[in-house]
Amino acid sequence: MALEKDVDCPSCGETQSFYRTAAMTLHLGEKTKWRCPECGYGYVEINGIDTLPA
């Protein structure tokens, strides 16, 4: 898995290269935590489903 990912940051209001801060395997799939280097906003992704606001 990549260590960086381009995501539209809801806090900054623009696309940022989020970096992976943690990853582990759960019974639901892989859980990955991502963080914005500019503002510190973070979100969790489990098996491709993320917690970013729609």
* DSSP three-state, residue 13: coil
For residues 2 and 42, which has the higher predicted lDDT (pLDDT)? 42
pLDDT tens digits, residue range 13-52? Answer: 999 999 999 999 999 899 999 999 999 999 999 998 999 9
Structural domain tally of the chain?
A: 1
CA neighbours closer than 13 Å in the CB half-sphere of residue 36: 17
With a cut of 70, say whether residue 7 has pLDDT above it.
yes
CATH number, domain with residue 43: 2.20.25
Q: What is the pLDDT of residue 39?
A: 96
Q: Determine the structural domain holding residue 13 and report its residue range.
A: 4-50
Q: What is the pLDDT of residue 1?
A: 66
